[in-house]
């Protein structure tokens, strides 16, 4: 039961007043950016990266993690009341929850989303606590070829499996890898694609890319497509508490959603959309009145919301134990670790258990805080939805420009931000996913390092990746995931 001792130590870190303060700041900011359209958790954490020079690693990471799951809670509020999903993972909630709100049941919808998120988040954190040391035990035996293989698997799943088109996902991935190349290369000290610009020698800042793609690109796109139609915000009438019947109908979907969400999040594949859709489908199948779905069935909010939260906690498993980010926000969190010269992975559990377990303990604390923030204080967050778009997006750009300029006080980065923003606009217009760019950019240089190390061990023979059983099977799986669907489709067409 060593795990529980470690967790107890973690609580010793997380419950220090200063760290409780950072957690509260994190979950509050997270809720705000989750509610506001246009500012996601990835951008918010990226904008706050300069803080890493001023506060200690535990405080900063606890705050960033708070933003990460706070945004999940906040996002559901926007989906239910506005029917514009704040994040792709809340599309299902937007469908069913908004229907409930239209029928005057916004209160119970918000309540089942918040309590469901709490239940799922807490159970998922328990699972994370139990599972993480096991994965660490396994990962301690991994060598460079295994890490390289795992990174390839993550690359392929985040770009080719999630999203509408594998081709556009892979294109985005390669663009991200290209961005990651810029700068002084780690092992040889060789400058690549620097063009004599000192700002490029240090590499392109993650902030610039995250903010450019998500905040500036999105703002440009929305402004150019803005029609005069005004979004209708559903009002919350009556009590927000659920009735006895609502509780009876919600608790099973919460548990089932958690059971679907956590494993999918914890796999090195990631993705929060798939579990929400799976959970929605499952609840519809199991419901006593399936015809109610699409017209505001509470199960259709409870299940997917729980799945969403459980999978976002699950994403922490590969991130903390292997250093493998499988979502845009996880990639930014990895960048935050790197700001402190830390590399998440089995070694970090050895060398810095107080930090890792403090962070995990803070998830328990943060979920409790969010439940309090989101139920009694829901009225405050709803007010945020009433900010008119011109003033909202103007404010977002002021923060965005400040964060990008402030990172290293360079006007060059502002111009680069504009270029990346235009790229984000085009990607939005032609439906290229943005997450693979960030993951490629952050994970790319790490994958290159592992590849070089592997080849140094094998004295240059690329067979090293396939001879070792574990890296060989992971790479084989990667190839199956990449070309399998394509071959399957071709064969099916032939046989017709």
Partner 1 sequence: MKTIHKGQLAVALGVAALGIAIFVGASFIPDAAGYSTVGPAAIPRLVAVGLLVAAAALLWEVLRGGFRHHDEAAERALPTHWAAFIWISVAILSYGILIEHAGFILSSVLLYVLTAAGFGSRRWGLNAAIGAVIAVIIYVAFQRGLGLSLPAGVFKGLL
Residue matched to tokens 């950072």: 22
Encoding tokens for residue 442?
Answer: 């952050």
Q: Judged by CB under 8 A, which of 84, 140, 193, 484 binds partner 1?
A: 193
Nearer to partner 1 (CB atom), residue 51 or residue 126: 51
Residues 200-229 that bind partner 1 (CB under 8 A): 216, 219-220, 223-227
Burial of residue 351 (number of CB atoms within 10 Å: 0-12, 13-18, 19+)? exposed
Nearer to partner 1 (CB atom), residue 110 or residue 439: 439
DSSP state of 325: -
- Residue 300 half-sphere exposure toward CB, CA atoms < 13 A: 26
What minimum distance in Å lies between the beta carbon of 491 and partner 1? 18
Nearer to partner 1 (CB atom), residue 459 or residue 495: 459
Classify 377 as helix, strand or coil.
coil
Residues 382-411 that bind partner 1 (CB under 8 A): 388-391, 393-395, 397-399, 401-402, 405-406, 409, 411
Nearer to partner 1 (CB atom), residue 372 or residue 479: 479
Nearer to partner 1 (CB atom), residue 430 or residue 496: 430
Q: From CA 106, how far away is CA 234, in angstroms rounded?
A: 8
Q: Judged by CB under 8 A, which of 16, 25, 50, 368 binds partner 1?
A: 50
54 is a contact residue toward partner 1 (CB under 8 A): yes
Q: Judged by CB under 8 A, which of 190, 196, 494, 495 binds partner 1?
A: 190
Q: How far is CA 351 from CA 278, 337, 420, 488, in A?
A: 39, 14, 37, 46
Q: Judged by CB under 8 A, which of 418, 466, 472, 481 binds partner 1?
A: 418
Question: 191 pairs with which residues across the strands?
Answer: 184
Residues 290-349 that bind partner 1 (CB under 8 A): none
Q: How far is CA 230 from CA 34, 375, 388, in A?
A: 20, 27, 10
Encoding tokens for residue 221?
Answer: 């796109």
Residue matched to tokens 């945020």: 384
User: Could you tell me which residues come within 8 angstroms of residue 453 by beta carbon, excluding any fewer than 6 positions away?
Assistant: 144
491 is a contact residue toward partner 1 (CB under 8 A): no
User: Could you tell me which residues come within 8 angstroms of residue 334 by beta carbon, excluding any fewer than 6 positions away?
Assistant: 319, 323, 325, 344, 442, 443
The dihedral built from the CA positions of residue 340, 345, 346 and 347, taken in this order, carries a sign that is negative
Nearer to partner 1 (CB atom), residue 144 or residue 265: 144
Q: How far is CA 392 from CA 78, 271, 339, in A?
A: 15, 28, 30
Q: Of the listed pieces 48-56, 273-281, 299-307, 466-474, which binds partner 1 according to CB under 8 A?
A: 48-56
285 is a contact residue toward partner 1 (CB under 8 A): no
Q: Of the listed pieces 2-10, 105-113, 168-176, 468-476, which binds partner 1 according to CB under 8 A?
A: 168-176
Nearer to partner 1 (CB atom), residue 69 or residue 393: 393
Question: 192 pairs with which residues across the strands?
Answer: 183
Residues 17-46 that bind partner 1 (CB under 8 A): none
Q: What angle do CA 303, 306, 308 make, to 5 degrees?
A: 105
Q: Which residues bind partner 1 (CB under 8 A)?
A: 50-51, 53-54, 164-165, 167-168, 170-171, 174-175, 177-178, 181, 185, 187-188, 190, 192-193, 216, 219-220, 223-227, 388-391, 393-395, 397-399, 401-402, 405-406, 409, 411, 414-415, 417-418, 421-422, 425-426, 429-431, 444, 448, 451-453, 455-456, 459-460
């Amino acid at each position: 039961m060593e795990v529980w001792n470690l967790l107890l130590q973690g609580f010793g870190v997380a419950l220090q007043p200063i760290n409780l303060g950072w957690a509260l700041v994190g979950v509050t900011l997270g809720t705000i950016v989750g509610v506001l359209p246009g500012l996601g958790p990835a951008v918010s954490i990226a904008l706050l990266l300069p803080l890493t020079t001023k506060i200690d690693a535990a405080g900063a990471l606890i705050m960033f993690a708070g933003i990460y799951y706070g945004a999940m809670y906040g996002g559901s509020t926007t989906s239910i009341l506005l029917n514009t999903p704040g994040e792709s993972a809340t599309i299902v909630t937007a469908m069913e929850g908004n229907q409930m709100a239209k029928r005057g049941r916004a209160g119970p919808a918000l309540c089942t989303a918040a309590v469901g998120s709490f239940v799922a988040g807490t159970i998922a954190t328990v699972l994370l606590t139990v599972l993480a040391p096991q994965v660490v035990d396994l990962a301690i035996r991994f060598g460079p070829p295994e890490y390289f293989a795992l990174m390839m698997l993550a690359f392929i799943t985040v770009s080719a499996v999630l999203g509408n088109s594998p081709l556009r996902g892979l294109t985005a991935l390669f663009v991200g890898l290209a961005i990651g190349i810029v700068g002084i290369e780690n092992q040889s000290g060789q400058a690549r694609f620097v063009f004599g610009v000192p700002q490029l020698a240090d590499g392109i800042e993650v902030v610039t890319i995250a903010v450019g793609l998500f905040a500036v690109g999105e703002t440009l796109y929305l402004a150019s497509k803005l029609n005069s139609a005004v979004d209708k915000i559903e009002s919350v009438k009556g009590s927000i508490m659920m009735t006895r019947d609502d509780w009876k109908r919600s608790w099973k979907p919460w548990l089932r959603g958690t059971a679907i969400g956590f494993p999918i999040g914890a796999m090195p594949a990631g993705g929060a959309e798939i579990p929400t859709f799976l959970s929605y489908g499952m609840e519809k199948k199991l419901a006593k009145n399936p015809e109610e779905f699409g017209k505001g069935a509470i199960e259709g909010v409870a299940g997917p919301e729980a799945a969403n939260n459980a999978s976002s906690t699950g994403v922490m498993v590969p991130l903390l134990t292997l250093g493998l980010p499988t979502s845009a926000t996880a990639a930014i969190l990895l960048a935050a670790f790197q700001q402190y010269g830390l590399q998440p992975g089995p070694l970090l559990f050895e060398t810095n258990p107080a930090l890792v377990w403090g962070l995990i303990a803070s998830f328990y604390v943060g979920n409790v805080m969010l439940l309090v923030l989101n139920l009694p204080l829901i009225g405050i967050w709803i007010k945020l939805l009433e900010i008119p778009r011109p003033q909202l997006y103007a404010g977002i750009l002021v923060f965005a420009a400040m964060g990008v300029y402030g990172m290293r006080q360079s006007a060059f980065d502002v111009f680069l931000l504009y270029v990346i923003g235009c790229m984000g606009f085009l990607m939005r217009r032609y439906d290229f996913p943005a997450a693979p760019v960030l993951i490629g950019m952050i994970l790319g240089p790490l994958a290159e390092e592992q590849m070089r190390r592997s080849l140094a061990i094998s004295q240059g023979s690329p067979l090293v990746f396939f001879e070792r059983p574990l890296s060989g099977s992971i790479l084989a799986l990667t190839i199956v995931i990449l070309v399998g669907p394509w071959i399957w489709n071709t064969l099916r067409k032939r046989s017709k």
